[in-house]
Structure 1
Amino acid sequence: MKLGMLTACLPHLSLAEIAAWASEAGYEALEVAAWPRTGGRDFEAAHLPVAGFGQRDAEEIRGLFERHRLDLSALAYYENNLHPDPARRAEIHAHLKAVIDTAAALDVPYVGTFVGRDWTRPVAPNLEEAEKVFPELVEYAGERDVRLIIENCVMEGWHPDGCPGNLAYSPELWEWMFSLGLYLNWDPSHLTWIGVDPVQTIAPYADRIVHAQAKDLQILPGKVDRYGFFGKAVQREDPWDTGWWRYRVPGRGQVDWSAVVDALYEHGFTGTLSVEHEDPVWGGTEEKVKTGLEIAHRTLRPLIVA
């Protein structure tokens, strides 16, 4: 097992700057954000020029990672592959294929994304639609020796009523998506707030957990008693603010990281545990984000065999 980090939390730094800092901070791998350069949301970090990525680009990136003694564990493009707008969905699929091509050029085994959801339709027709959409994407990746890995994030902010916007949030749905040839980028934080014990999900699905994300979650005392499980309903200006929980860096929330890492080892996980920093306490500035990543490293490094 190696300790890595997702680069998306530092969208305004170059990949070269992040690699230099991460190596110095003791990280061993990077999960590289590969959103398009749209100038949109901050978390849509574009740390690889996947559009038109060529041999010279590949040589430059390989050299960068070799100089800093880092692995490139996965490329990350977490978007809605079932978007209800056909034109937007086509854009997403085209960029996802460019990310897959770039992964193949760099010999990166995994590309992370979401199943997503058409939020205008119920769950059942979405599953049927996914069964039409994903085989072609899985085949495209497989032909290039790349696996598509799905993060089990609920993505409640994508749904107008805060319902799940990514149909990959529970073990029931994992079993369904595995049948489509998809793998899991396992994240315990999302399981924690929906009432699933993350440690208990490792053994049954160990053969499909090929990459993992390290993000913590803090339950805010007493808040669920006001809002209920589904979160704020009357005054929810931010679609991602449920009002009763928030993401934290590892070591600042509810997740038992000793138990998580132990279970991953017990069941044969040899991939990368990649810190995904979305902690509002340690966010907002580059300095604070880096401090949050240092806290995560101090939490996890003693648990991982050198």
Structure 2
Amino acid sequence: MKLGMLTACLPGWPLARIAAWAAENGYQALEVAVWPDAGGRDFVASHLPVADFGPREVDRTRELFDRHGLELSAFAYYENNLHPDPERRAGIRAHLKHAIDAAQALGVPYVGTFVGRDWTRPVAENLREAERILPELVEYAGERNVRIIVENCVMEGWHPDGYPGNLAYSPELWEWMFSLGLYLNYDPSHLVWIGIDPVEVIAPYAERIVHAQAKDVELDPRARNRFGHFGPATDRTDPWGMGWWRYRVPGLGQVSWTNVVDRLYEHGFTGTLSVEHEDPVWGGDDERVTQGLRIAHRTLRPLILD
């Protein structure tokens, strides 16, 4: 197991600066954000131009990672592959294929994305639609020796009422997506707030957990008693504001990282545990973000064997 970090938390930094900082601060791998330069979610980051990735870019990227002694654990392009707008969905699909092509060129084993959801249709219809379109992407990746990994993020902000916007949030849905050839980018933080024990679900699905993200979550049970599980209903100005929980860097929330890492080791996990920094306390500017990454490193590095 190696300790890495997702580069999306530093969208204004070039990849060379992130790589130098990560190596100097004890990180061993990078999960590189590869959204397009234009559009996307608020914290979109584009750290490699995968849509135009030729031999020159391949050589530069290899040299950068070799120089700093880092691994490139995965590409990150977490978008809605079931988007209800056909044009938007087609653009997401095309860019995901660009990411897969670039991963093949660099020998990167994984490209991360979301299953997503068409929030105008019920779950059953979404599952059938995913069964229609996702296997071709899995095959495209497999032909290039790349696996598609899906993070189990609920993506409640994609649904107008705060319901799941990514149909890969529970073990029931993991089993379904595994049948399509997808793998799991396991993130315990999402499991905690939806009431699933993040430690207990590792063993049954260990063979499909090939990459992991380290993000913590802080719960406020008193606020939950007011809003309920789905968050504010009458004054929801922020689609991502659930009102009773927030993300934290590892060590500042409810996840038992000692137990999570121990269980991953017990079941043979040899991939990267990648810090995904979305902590609002340690956010807002680059200095605070990097301090948050240092806190995460101090929490997790002692748990990972050399």
Q: TM-score range by the shorter chain?
A: over 0.9
Separation in structure 2 between the aligned mates of residue 224 and residue 283 of structure 1, nearest angstrom: 24
| Contact persistence 1:215–1:276 (CA under 8 A) | yes
Which ranges in structure 1 are unaligned for 5 or more consecutive residues? Answer: none
Q: For structure 2, which runs of at least 5 residues remain unmatched after alignment?
A: none
SS in 1 for 2:204: helix
- Measured in 2, the distance between the counterparts of 1:97 and 1:275 equals 25
1:50 matches 2:80: no
State how far apart, in whole Å, the 2-side matches of 1:17 and 1:39 are: 23
In 2, Cα distance between equivalents of 1:203 and 1:223? 32
Q: SS at the partner of 1:148?
A: strand
Q: Aligned partners of 1:264 and 1:56: how far apart in 2?
A: 37
Report deviation, 1:42.
4.0
Q: Which residue of 2 aligns with 1:163?
A: 163
Task: Give me the whole-angstrom Cα distance separating, in 2, the residues matched to 1:121 and 1:28.
Answer: 42
Partner SS state of residue 12, structure 2: coil
- Taking the aligned partners of 1:95 and 1:13, their CA distance within structure 2 comes to 22
Aligned to 2:220: 220
**Which secondary structure does the structure 1 equivalent of 2:200 belong to?**
helix
Give yes or no for the alignment of 1:144 onto 2:144. yes
The aligned counterpart of 1:109 is 109
Determine if the alignment matches structure 1 residue 267 to structure 2 residue 270: no
**Correspondence for 2:294:** 294
Q: How far did residue 142 of structure 1 move?
A: 0.4
| Alignment partner of 1:241 is 2:277 | no
Equivalent residues in 2 for 1:202-221, closer than 5 Å: 202-221=202-221
Which residue matches 1:65? 65
Which residue identity does 2:242 align to in structure 1?
T
Distance 2:44 2:223 in 1: 30
**Over residues 34-60 of structure 1, what are the superposed CA-to-partner deviations in whole Å (9 max), with x where a residue is unaligned?**
000005544210000111100110000
Q: TM-score, normalised by structure 2?
A: 0.99
Q: Is the 8 A contact 1:11 1:42 kept in 2?
A: no
2:218 maps to amino acid: Q
C-alpha distance in structure 2 between counterparts of 1:234 and 1:70, whole Å: 47
How big is each residue's C-alpha offset from its partner over 1:160-180, in whole Å with a ceiling of 9 and x where there is no partner? 111100000000000000000
**In 1: Cα distance, 2:33 partner to 2:156 partner:** 21
Q: What's the % identity of the aligned pairs? A: 75
In the superposition, the TM-score normalised over structure 1's length comes to: 0.99
Provide the aligned C-alpha RMSD in A: 0.7
- 1:178 aligns to what? 178
Matched, 1:120 2:120: yes
1:35–1:44 CA contact under 8 A, matched in 2: yes
1:85 equivalent in structure 2: 85
In structure 2, the CA distance between the partners of 1:92 and 1:301, relative to structure 1 (3 Å rule), is same
1:30 maps to a residue whose letter is L
Provide the residue aligned with 2:24 in structure 1. Answer: 24
Give the distance between the partners of 2:31 and 2:90, measured in 1 at CA: 25
Number of positions where the alignment pairs a residue of Structure 1 with one of Structure 2 = 306
